[in-house]
A = this chain, B = another copy of it.
């Protein structure tokens, strides 16, 4: 670190934008900072804790937990990065034939084969065409390249949408509680009013339309113009997959209440139950007979998720439908402020939406990779759900999708009092004690929001197979000791 200045002259923290100051410090929060210090301690002195490693269940970052990248995707990326490889015959012996063919196709789609050039602001047109084909094939309804904006992951387009819709604090967005902090942070930064609605935990974290209506009316009665509704499906942090009927209700609600439906569908490939299936909100709306003129709909997707989990690649798209041409021009202007998204991420997004097909050399291996990862995720989820439901005072909904479980803990009065005595929220207190005792890092429910008086934590289902039993063993011992210590 650079030497701490005696006094940095020009800037004091209280002279900064108050909207930035109001942002919660989630990534660098108490739990993450403590875990980092413990990790450093363990590296220096391996005996400093009764465990030898920190178990990160706070971040949805599969590759950093040992998940191997997809071979086909990375072959294509390497060939596009260094197209000279395509000129050498030896390449045929070390790359799969369909990766070579795909790289050639992609290079042909990029004007001048210039992977180092800026693309169109919305992303390379040819890659958007490929993605539109993938979306159309997923939904059974048409999709147009002009509706696709390729983005550096899902965060930039969320900020774009908020910038477009929010004029000031009298504008609000209906946002689920609990929800990922990307939405709440983006709203704070734009000065929007968060109009919360509560996911129904007893109904498997479904969306209750009467609850939506209640909160919409409450917001409106306070003079808030509610511009849109955020739905996260499959859910983060809650791991539910919405049923089609519930989705139809949500579409109808947005249409009749004149709200932009902002659908976070980044976990669309992470579904772990045979009983449910991912349906995009666009497919639902079109199936109901609603077209461009009936509902304004934005969908986000990203390569950070799915079974491939390519978070660091920052690829993503936003599909924008039901916006008139004047509004679309404004979307385009905001998108053009960052020139374009990164080309590797654009390529990867096109691969994710159009993976190897039957007959392609990579197909079988690709399916094996995919099947293995989805199986591991679902086994990890099932083991965790079963474990948490066996704990005293804990209940945990099934992880139907995404990468998380979000169990509820009934904390005792004594535990709550102990937390208060330390000036800590009860769920943060629980998570900190868990970390100190086991090295397991989870995020407290208060980071995501929860019904007042209830306490939760979010735990990713990304533990490698060989570590799941250790995780359960340590967590169980901790929880029993904790409940013993704080028995009312």
Contact = CB atoms under 8 A, between A and B. Distances in A.
A326 interface: yes
Interface string A284-318: 00000001111110000000100011111110000
A165 interface: yes
B166 A327 contact: no
B164 A6 contact: no
A17 B255 contact: no
A155 B344 contact: no
Contacts of A312: 114-119, 340, 342-343
A9 interface: yes
A85 interface: yes
| Number of identical monomers bound together in the oligomeric complex | 2
A314 B338 CA distance: 9
Contacts of A304: 118, 339
A336 B181 CA distance: 11
Interface in A311-333: 311-314, 321-327, 329-330, 332-333
Nearest to A142: B2
Interface string A422-458: 0000000000000000000000000000000000000
Given A330-B13, A344-B344, A336 B28 contact: yes
Nearest to A146: B1
A31 interface: no
Interface core residue of A11, A165, A311 (most chain B CB under 10 Å): A11
A137 to B, nearest CB: 17
What band does the interface of chain A fall in when counting residues whose beta carbon is under 8 Å from B?
A: 35 or more
A375 to B, nearest CB: 20
Most chain B CB neighbours (cut-off 10 Å) among A3, A321, A343: A343
Interface in A1-52: 1-13, 15-21, 23, 25-28
Nearest to A18: B167
A98 interface: no
Contact of A292 (B2, B258, B295): B2
Given A64-B117, A337-B155, A21 B330 contact: yes
Given A146-B2, A293-B5, A326 B13 contact: yes
A330 B28 CA distance: 11
A216 interface: no
Contacts of A419: none
A94 to B, nearest CB: 6
Contacts of A228: 10
A77 interface: yes
B164 A20 contact: yes
Query: Which 3 residue pairs across A and B have the least CB separation, nearest first?
Result: A78-B82, A63-B114, A5-B292
